[in-house]
Amino acid sequence: MGVQVELVDAKSLVFDSREHGFNTELGDMVYIRCISHFRAQMLSATLESIGVPCVNSHSVLERCSNKMLTTLALERGGIPTPRTLMALSAEGVPQAALSLGYPVVLKPLVGSWGRLVSLAKDRETLNALVEHREELSNPLDHIYYLQEYVRRPPRDIRAVVVGDEVAAAVYRVSADGEWRTNVARGASTEAFEPAGELIELLVKAADAVGGGVLGVDAMESSEGYLVHEVNGTVEFRGAQSAVQTSIPRKIVEYLVREVKK
């Protein structure tokens, strides 16, 4: 493809603000695959400060690593998304839940793989969840992101959107005894060919957060598709096991096009 590629372990990098650079040469563009959201954010911010573009960009990584920022971007982009309320302290949670109606979904602002995503079927359960959250030491856990519970089949849609193309899409089917559809929670994947209207929505959702290489998650509701999440460092083990298309190839082709621009 006419480009030279080097794998760099982000954990080994040191940035010097005076020297405007890192302790190693990082080339013309960096594709960030850090598993740590904060590491990815700091790496992208510093890279962009010295004129090295990265995929995804700092603003996209920041937006996607915080569920409220993602929601705001989706709303701003006119993307149908579940109704979301944010309470800035535990005090506001009962009022937010009343407004949404039970059951409600409680999610951490930062987190992945369905971790700490909880379904509160009634006020007692929600109170218990809030009590536990208040015991956590991270101040971010004391801001409450509550979402309407969308009645949907026991599955959602994961699309890997690369640039302006849906590289692959799968259904993620919840494991037995589990309502969450994360592959990390045991969900299985099935190939799925989205129709034109859905493709348009998925690409538009990726654009709404800034575009790049993204994992867009959508649900089938009685009122149509709702996009509930956009992932900035998309994982595709589950998706790749269900589709013929090579997702890494699609990503590499996109990166080569971007670096040659």
Q: Which residues bind another protein (CB under 8 A)?
A: 7, 9, 11, 35-39, 65, 110-113, 115, 138, 215, 231-235
Q: 173, 155 in Cβ contact below 8 A? A: yes
The distance of closest approach from Cβ of residue 19 to another protein in the complex, given in angstroms and rounded to an integer, is 25
Residues in the chain: 261
Q: 173, 157 in Cβ contact below 8 A? A: no
Give the nearer residue to another protein in terms of CB position, either 100 or 162: 162
The distance of closest approach from Cβ of residue 121 to another protein in the complex, given in angstroms and rounded to an integer, is 26
Residue 33 CB partners (closer than 8 Å, separation 6+): 233
Give the nearer residue to another protein in terms of CB position, either 11 or 18: 11
The distance of closest approach from Cβ of residue 135 to another protein in the complex, given in angstroms and rounded to an integer, is 14
What would the two tokens of residue 13 be? Answer: 């990098």
Give the nearer residue to another protein in terms of CB position, either 210 or 215: 215
Task: Give CA angle at 69 (129, 84), nearest 5°.
Answer: 50
Give the nearer residue to another protein in terms of CB position, either 8 or 29: 8
Q: Is the dihedral of CA 245, 246, 248, 249 positive or negative?
A: negative
The position carrying tokens 């993620």 is 172
Determine phi and psi for 49, rounding to 5 degrees.
Answer: -65, -25
Give the nearer residue to another protein in terms of CB position, either 104 or 216: 216
The distance of closest approach from Cβ of residue 115 to another protein in the complex, given in angstroms and rounded to an integer, is 7
The position carrying tokens 């998925």 is 202
Give the nearer residue to another protein in terms of CB position, either 126 or 239: 239
How far apart (Å, rounded) are the C-alpha atoms in residues 172 and 113? Answer: 13
The distance of closest approach from Cβ of residue 201 to another protein in the complex, given in angstroms and rounded to an integer, is 20
How far apart (Å, rounded) are the C-alpha atoms in residues 43 and 216? Answer: 23
The distance of closest approach from Cβ of residue 64 to another protein in the complex, given in angstroms and rounded to an integer, is 8
Q: Whose CA is closest to 232, among 92, 57, 68, 72?
A: 57
